[in-house]
Copies of this chain bind each other. A is one copy, B any other.
Amino acid sequence: MNEVTIGICGLGTVGGGVLEVLSRNADLITERSHTPLRVVHVSTRYERKDLEAGGITVSRDYRDVIADPGVQILIEAYGGTDHAGDIVRAAIRAGKQVVTANKALIAEQGNELFALAAEHGVSLRFEAAVAGGIPVIKALREGLAANRIEWLAGIINGTGNFILSEMRDRKRQFADVLAEAQALGYAEADPTFDIEGIDAAHKLTIMAAIAFGMPLRFDAVYTEGISTLTPEDLAYADELGYCIKHLGMARQGEQGVELRVHPTLLPMDLLLANVNGVKNAILVEGDAVGPTLYYGAGAGGSATASAVVADSIDLARQLSANQGCTVPPLGVTPAAVRDLPILPMGEVKTAWYLRLTAKDEPGVMSQVSSILGAQGISIEALIQKAAKGGAKQVPVVVITNIASQSNLDRAVASIEALDVIVAPVTRIRVETLDGQDG
């Protein structure tokens, strides 16, 4: 099997993340790409003898990576727009496929860069430039390609959303939360790009261009920041049933396209209003599909690397494809489909909701909790209500800790055998899906 070779310019948060993901998931990525993706050359200002020992050429100068004829895909992870622009242009001219996470570069110089890429017959890919690891560029450009996109609205700056979430939930002042966000590393030392909406405007520019088939018009985006918002406004909005979000909004109307980033009140029952903390989400309205929403981590080395590597896999699939299909039906090459063992339900572990119907007598809970305890199951929450009117039986509702179905089966059988339990036990699994906010 052939391989596809990668060069990375810059090994900071993004470049380092890419290297880490490519190495950790190398086997999986090979199965998905038809071919191994091998990093052969990187540029960084630091010594990296560890990489050299692994056979990777390490250069101080990014020009050496671009000049390396052994590099097929060049990942620009340099940051900024000056050198990054030079890197991307030089790489395109050298006939490389190029991947970048650089939203400012694409939003401000994309029109010119895409033309250059077309001229040289290469791809310039930028999934990571919008909303980090959320594959929203792919959704807009491919998944929703059948639709006329009417509008899209996004929470596309995690720092700003974190600040607004904190201001509302803890009634804190803007400046106070900003200082904390800086200490936590969410916000840059110069937070202007985030809080004044420039970063969001970059992302909105890119999404709008794809949604509406128009050039990148960063110059035309109206931008209003969040620094003047007060906890009072957030509280009044709340009282009226709204949540204030820093929203990027693009709409295609009959008179023209709206491109705007500003604080916005959203009705609280919208899913988008419930996106909190550093997370991003984009709601897209298509004429055929209606509204669809994409949610996830909008920043961070690992999430950004997820998108950069996905772009690289797309390119590798094209570069290495035989005739016909480039994406295998189950995502991995047919030979790599593995008949994984299925876990029997008895061994599946979840927390449990149990509803018991008990005689209204003392001592019920002590018997129940002792039976549960014998199976290693503890009670995390409990509702026990007094009998209504002359009722002789009462409901008892319990949430347990995490237990296997086998253990729970045994406990429930013993509980149902109790004299004080007068009906079959209702049992429903509980999942906390840890990680959604992690």
A233 at the interface (CB under 8 A from B): yes
A39, CB-defined interface residue at 8 Å: no
A290 near B265 (CB under 8 angstroms)?
Answer: no
CB within 8 Å for A288 and B264 given contacts A135-B143, A331-B213? no
User: In the complex, what residue of chain B is closest to A326 when comparing beta carbons?
Assistant: B318
For A264, list chain B residues within 8 Å (CB). Answer: 428-431
Interface residues on A, range: 35 or more
CB contact under 8 A between A324 and B28, given known A144-B135, A330-B213: no
A residues in contact (CB < 8 Å) with B: 17, 21-22, 24-25, 28-29, 31-33, 110, 114-115, 117-118, 121-127, 132-135, 138-148, 150, 153, 209-217, 220, 222, 228-230, 232-233, 236-237, 239-240, 242, 244, 247, 249, 252-253, 255-260, 262-267, 270-272, 274-275, 281, 283, 285-297, 302-303, 305-310, 312-314, 318, 323-327, 329-332, 334, 336-345, 347-348, 353, 355, 381, 383, 395, 397, 399, 426, 428-433, 435-436, 438
Give Cα A306–Cα B258 distance, bound, in whole angstroms. 25
On whether A355 and B262 interact (CB within 8 A), knowing A295-B295, A338-B214, A343-B255, the answer reads no
CB atoms of B337 and A123 under 8 A apart: no
Do B32 and A324 touch across chains, with their CB atoms under 8 A apart? Answer: no
The chain B residue sitting closest to A228, CB to CB, is B426
Question: Distance (Å) between the CB of A265 and the closest chain B CB?
Answer: 4
Assuming A28-B148, A146-B21, A265-B353, is B292 touching A327 (CB within 8 A)? Answer: no
Q: Determine how close the nearest CB of chain B comes to the CB of A291; give it in whole angstroms.
A: 5
* Contacting residue for A139 out of B32, B139, B431, B432, CB 8 A: B139
- Whether A313 pairs with B236 at a CB distance below 8 angstroms is no
Residue among A17, A271, A355 with the highest chain B CB neighbour number at 10 A: A271
Q: How far is the CA of A24 from the CA of B230 in the complex (A)?
A: 46
State in angstroms the CA–CA spacing of A114 and B222 once bound together: 49
CB-defined contacts of A293 to chain B, threshold 8 Å: 281, 293-296, 436
Known: A121-B323, A135-B144, A429-B263. A296 touches B292 (CB 8 A): yes
Q: How far is the CA of A310 from the CA of B142 in the complex (A)?
A: 6
A-B contact pairs, 8 of them (CB 8 A): A25-B147, A121-B323, A132-B289, A135-B142, A141-B330, A236-B353, A262-B428, A288-B309
